[in-house]
Amino acid sequence: MPGKLYIVPTPIGNLEDITLRAIRILKEVDLILAEDTRTTSVLLRHYGIDKPLHSHHQFNEHRSVDNVTDRLLLGSVIALVSDAGTPGISDPGYLLIRACIRAGIPVECLPGPTAFVPALVNSGIPSDHFIFEGFLPHKKGRHTRLQQLAKEEKTMVFYESPFRLVKTLTQFAEFFGSNRYACVSRELTKIHEENARGTMEELILHFSSKTVKGEIVIIVEGLKE
């Protein structure tokens, strides 16, 4: 009998943002796969969870998938977590989940924190239809993708680093227009949470006047007829 793979979302900042079931599952599994074992240890210590931790990140994911599926096929129950939010959302997860499904191993993803949902809802921009872009390519394909997105009518969701924020907003202004409305959510769930709303022009001005720090989601309204 195969075991089971649980995908367990973890807080994106505020350690209180974890479900009771996520805590129970993490306490019950045989092994926890973590992106960065040091980051996950902080969370586990906070909740008094003492379980073996193995690393599973983008650089060992291909190698790790075979070992993990072998263990699961022998009956182990394993949880996959990432540094923050939901594994598989701009984080490792997909390859392992696909391998488990192909091998007939049960997979269950718990609902829980992910950065783009509060950013989208906070933005006040229509959330009935949206596309999740995650991180734009840094070089190859970036311009082509921006050209395609210029015609997108649905709300767009981007993940971005603080160092690239102004550059990306400037390109959004260039491709989507300086009047396009957007919301930049920074440090969600943390003490210095900020949700800056306005046109691209206003946002560029706002973020150019200071050193931008922290984690960022950008929500951009779609093209209006």
Contacting residues toward ligand SAM, per CB under 6 A = 12-13, 82, 84-86, 89-91, 114-116, 159-161, 185, 187-190, 215-217
To ligand SAM, the closest distance from the beta carbon of 149 in angstroms equals: 17
Output the CA–CA distances (angstroms, integers) from residue 154 to 111, 128, 134, in the order listed: 24, 9, 15
To ligand SAM, the closest distance from the beta carbon of 177 in angstroms equals: 23
To ligand SAM, the closest distance from the beta carbon of 134 in angstroms equals: 8
Task: List the one residue out of 140, 142, 153, 162 whose CA is nearest residue 214.
Answer: 162
CB-nearest residue to ligand SAM: 85
C-alpha to C-alpha distance for 212 and 217, rounded to whole angstroms: 13
125 and 154 Cβ atoms separated by less than 8 Å: no
Q: Give the sheet arrangement for strand 53-55, strand by strand.
A: 53-55, 31-34, 77-80, 4-7, 107-109
Nearer to ligand SAM, 51 or 164 (CB): 164
To ligand SAM, the closest distance from the beta carbon of 18 in angstroms equals: 13
To ligand SAM, the closest distance from the beta carbon of 140 in angstroms equals: 20
Nearer to ligand SAM, 83 or 152 (CB): 83
Nearer to ligand SAM, 3 or 183 (CB): 183
Nearer to ligand SAM, 4 or 186 (CB): 186
To ligand SAM, the closest distance from the beta carbon of 157 in angstroms equals: 10
Exposed e or buried b for every residue in 32-45, given b needs 16+ CB within 10 A? bbbbeeeebeebbe
Nearer to ligand SAM, 76 or 195 (CB): 195
Instruction: Give the SS3 label for residue 92.
Output: coil
5 and 101 Cβ atoms separated by less than 8 Å: no
What is the pairing mode between strands 130-134 and 107-109? Answer: unpaired
Nearer to ligand SAM, 215 or 221 (CB): 215
Residue reference for tokens 């649905």: 154
What is the pairing mode between strands 155-160 and 53-55? Answer: unpaired
Q: Provide the CB-side half-sphere exposure for 41 (13 A, CA).
A: 7
